[in-house]
Structures are given as structure tokens and as C-alpha cells.
Amino acid sequence: MVFNTKVQSATFNIYNKDSGNSYTVIKWQDYWHCDCKSYLFCVEPKSCKHIDEVRDVMFDLIPYVEEDDDE
């Protein structure tokens, strides 16, 4: 049985133990935001390595299954 799950909103704290820096990644519907400098100064599409890291972990925990239109 496959469940269709979608995370609507979440807040993640990313901590870099090497630098001691901490960043906040926010997901709201289909919008992503990070408070790091890379995100703030990035041109479209807005993203950064912290958002990519959170997305990778989320998709590992909550598998995404595309619906087949043929059925």
C-alpha cells in the first residue's frame, strides 16, 4: 500500500560542527528559505546546500512516488 504524503510546512536547524555556524531552513508549501549568505545572495532559482541537504533527508524519510496517469 502506498500513501501519498506531502509535508506542508517545517523548520529545520542545520548545524555545522566544523565552523560552529547554525542555519535555519524553512519549508512552507512549495517555498523554501534559508538564512545563510549563499541563499540570500543567490539569483534564481533560489537554493543553497542547506536546502539541498534537508530535501535529501526528507525524501529518504518520506519516499515520493509519482502517480501513473495510465491507470
Residue whose cell numbers read 560542527: 17
pTM across the whole model: 0.71
Residues with pLDDT less than 50, the chain: none
29: left (phi over 0), alpha (psi -120 to 50) or beta: left
Give the per-residue pLDDT at 67.
53
Give the per-residue pLDDT at 58.
79
Give the DSSP H or E segment for 31. Answer: strand 31-34
Q: Quick check: 25 and 51 in contact, CB under 8 A?
A: yes
* Cα 11 from Cα 28, distance rounded (Å): 9
